[in-house]
Amino acid sequence: MKEIVIQKGRLAGTISVPSSKSDTHRALILAGLSNGKSKIISPLVCRDTEATEACLGAIGVKIRKGKSFWEVEGGKFFSPRQNLFCWESGTTLRLMTAVCSLIKGRCILTGRPSLMRRPIAPLLRALRDLGVRARKRKNLVIVEDNFLGGKTKIRGDISSQFISALLLVSPLARKEVEIELTSPLESSSYVLMTINSQRAFGVNVNFSRDLKRFRIKRQSYRPGEYRVEADWSSASFFLAGGAIAGRVRVKNLNQRSFQPDRKIIDFLKQMGAKIAVKEKEVIVEKSALRAIQADVRDCPDLFPVVCVLSAVAKGTSKISGTERLKYKESNRLEEMEKNLKKMGIRTKKTRSRFFIEGGRPKGAIIDSNDHRIVMAFAILGLITRTKTVVKNPDCVSKSFPTFFEELRKLL
């Protein structure tokens, strides 16, 4: 499908969002690292998780797919016969790079050019500190076994996935691993999610209160049953839709989740949205929103949604913590700025802040290959004065393949 036309409309109804992409990646890998059979209930099937699944399969993990579960038999790896292709999934590339350090022999990982431009050097340096032969050559990441363990230092302000990758494999090193961060950890909730998932598979990680130091003793993962949570990031688009274009009820959300995008509840409350938060669901109604000062440092995937809300809020919103947005599937700061201006919304950016003056957005042609940008502007298109045309709608298959089907159900 080349494009979708979004007309002005009102959302009304109830929706169950798909399972968490981040949680699915971690569950798959942890099951693969466990010696035996695990059952993953309600995994998210999307392009990114299928990339992780294919990479695990190529190194010897057996995965059988049921209707609403995956049975994963792990613990026995072999060197892959061909390069591991990670498509456009940064999570797959970074986590699987660490996993490959446990395999006897050489692994070569690659992906789409846009993926291979994203940062990975700090992770490779840390792996080398721990005994692994790891390097990048053009569009290839080359990893050879010898994960000894020991001590390493790594930056925490580029991608939390580097730390998650190290944590996932460290229990299987030949000796204890100590990780020290040389800069503050951003997106810390993703690291806590990783540690919580490890605990579900029988491994404990010791860490300092400020999340700057981690110590992982040699341990083994235990296979078991793991239920993947509903995805707060996917939910955020429809919660925003309710706040600006109707009334939406989102079911099956874990209020105690480690997912950082649960922060959308706080942002909506700060903007004055009519919101009811219950144990497993959230209801949001169309509201007169006010400008916000929002820090997305720990929840960068909420940036497009916060921009959409700010575009119709009264006053000028200030969004901080935007430095790492250039490392996403696109340079999200530039993409949002460009497309908001197309809709007649005034913006201003500095090195670490983005200002949005709320107004009355007009329809526009949105041409982006970033799944979160596309979903955000599809929601904003519901209240524009003229129609909005969204190009490349199929890119949502990266995280939320049924997004437009679910949107149509609510109209």
User: Any idea which residues carry the catalytic annotation?
Assistant: 301
Q: Are 46 and 282 in contact (CB under 8 A)?
A: no
Between CA 408 and CA 68, with CA 12 as vertex, the angle to 5 degrees is 60
Three-state DSSP class for residue 339: helix
Cα separation, 288 vs 244, in Å, equals 8
Residue owning tokens 């340079």:
331
Q: Give the helix, strand, coil percentages of the chain, each rounded to 5.
A: 40, 25, 35
Three-state DSSP class for residue 367: coil
Which residues, at least 6 apart from 303, have a Cβ–Cβ distance to it below 8 Å? 296, 319, 322, 325, 332, 333, 336
Cα separation, 302 vs 319, in Å, equals 11
Strands 69-74 and 62-65: antiparallel
Q: Which element (helix H / strand E) includes 229?
A: none
The token pair at 218 is 């040699």
> With left for phi above 0 and alpha for psi between -120 and 50, is residue 9 left, alpha or beta?
beta
